[in-house]
Amino acid sequence: MAQMKWSHVIALPVLATVSAPVSATEYLSVADAQRVLIPQAQNFVPFTVTLSPAQLAQIKKMSGVPQHNAQPKIWRAMNGKATIGWIIVDEVIGKHEFITYATAISPDGHVLGVEIMSYRESKGGQVRDPKWRNVFRGKSVQDQFKLNKDVPNISGATLSCRNITDGVKRLLVLHALALGRQS
């Protein structure tokens, strides 16, 4: 049997890529979400807030999750000179990708509505179901915000449900600390 001689052996790494199909779907623009959430508003005025380190720490303490952006995207919903609500656009992670959603909050700190603006996951899009999103309506920072307790879970969308639930609670805390006195 003849022996093979290898004078030059080059080992090349083999790269394998595994990816889940991602289906990014844009449902609403900011302007669309504003009109859907607070249709009686005459206009929406951008409202700049820079959260202090102390406010960021307080949001995490009160909501149980961190506020990653010190300058959240906020609009004041106005009728004439009266503030009739707030729109906050936020993102939470689903399973692998971000979910962009808007939450409308009344001047006194109750959820007026939640809209999913962009969903990028391949599964779990049931969080767009109005029946599920309506469970947030009327909630305030005093509510429990516990999945499978006061907020139902959707089978196959558990991470999206949990993270949106945590996000809405976090935005209510943000409102209480930074916007409630602005109304």
Q: Domain range holding 44?
A: 25-182
Quick check: is 152 in a domain?
A: yes
Phi, psi of 71 (to 5 degrees): -125, 75
Helices (H), the chain: 30-37, 53-63, 130-133, 158-174
Residues 6+ apart with CB under 8 A from 148: none
Quick check: is 45 in a domain?
A: yes
Quick check: is 10 in a domain?
A: no
Which secondary-structure segment (H or E) carries 83?
Answer: strand 82-93
Quick check: is 12 in a domain?
A: no
> So what's the pLDDT on residue 13?
56
Rounded to whole angstroms, what are the CA distances from 174 to 11, 20, 57, 143? 54, 34, 11, 15
pLDDT tens digit string along 110-141?
Answer: 999 999 999 988 888 899 999 999 999 999 99
Q: Which residues pair with 92 in a beta bridge?
A: 99
> So what's the pLDDT on residue 74?
98
pLDDT tens digit string along 56-97?
Answer: 999 999 999 999 999 999 999 999 999 999 999 999 998 888
pLDDT tens digit string along 30-47?
Answer: 999 999 999 999 999 999
Quick check: is 91 in a domain?
A: yes
Domain count within the chain: 1
pTM, entire model: 0.85
Q: For residue 122, how far is the Cα from the chain centroid?
A: 17
Does the structure show a pLDDT above 60 at 178? Answer: yes
- Return the closest-CA partner of residue 69 out of 85, 87, 90, 83: 90
Quick check: is 59 in a domain?
A: yes
Quick check: is 132 in a domain?
A: yes
